[in-house]
Amino acid sequence: MPRVVALFRYPLKGFTPERRAELIVQPDGRIEGDRVLAFRFADAATPEDQAGLDHWPKSKGLSLQDFPSLAALQLSYDAAGKRLRIAHEDRLLADAGIDTEGRAQLERAVTTYLLDSPHAGRLQRPGRLPLLLVGDGEHARFQDRARGYVSVHSTASVAALSDAMDQPLDDRRFRSNIVIDGVDAWGELDWEGEVSIGGVRFTTDGPIIRCMATEANPDTGLRDAAVLTSLTRRMGMRKPTLGRLLLLPGVSGDVDERSGLGGVIRVGDEVTVG
- Global pTM value: 0.91
Please say if the pLDDT value at position 249 is more than 90: no
Torsion, Cα 163 167 172 177, to 10 degrees, reads -20
Q: pLDDT tens for residues 132-158?
A: 999 999 988 888 776 778 999 999 999
**pLDDT value of position 55:** 61
Q: Of 53-67, 187-201, 249-263, which has the strongest mean pLDDT?
A: 187-201
Q: pLDDT tens for residues 197-206?
A: 998 999 999 9
**pLDDT value of position 46:** 65
Cα R_g (the chain), whole angstroms? 18
Please say if the pLDDT value at position 251 is more than 90: no
Q: pLDDT tens for residues 19-75?
A: 999 999 998 888 999 999 999 999 986 655 444 445 667 788 999 999 999 999 999
Mean pLDDT of the chain: 90
Q: pLDDT tens for residues 86-107?
A: 999 989 999 999 999 999 999 9
Angstrom distance (rounded) from CA 271 to CA 152: 11
Please say if the pLDDT value at position 245 is more than 70: yes
Instruction: Provide the phi-psi class of 176: left if phi over 0, else alpha when psi is between -120 and 50, else beta.
Output: beta
Q: pLDDT tens for residues 11-20?
A: 999 999 999 9
Whether a cis peptide bond, with omega within 30° of 0, leads into 218 is no
Q: Could you give the percent of the chain with pLDDT greater than 90? A: 80
Q: Could you give the percent of the chain with pLDDT greater than 70? A: 91
| Residue 96, amino acid | A
Question: Do the beta carbons of residue 201 and residue 194 sit within 8 Å?
Answer: yes
Please say if the pLDDT value at position 252 is more than 80: no
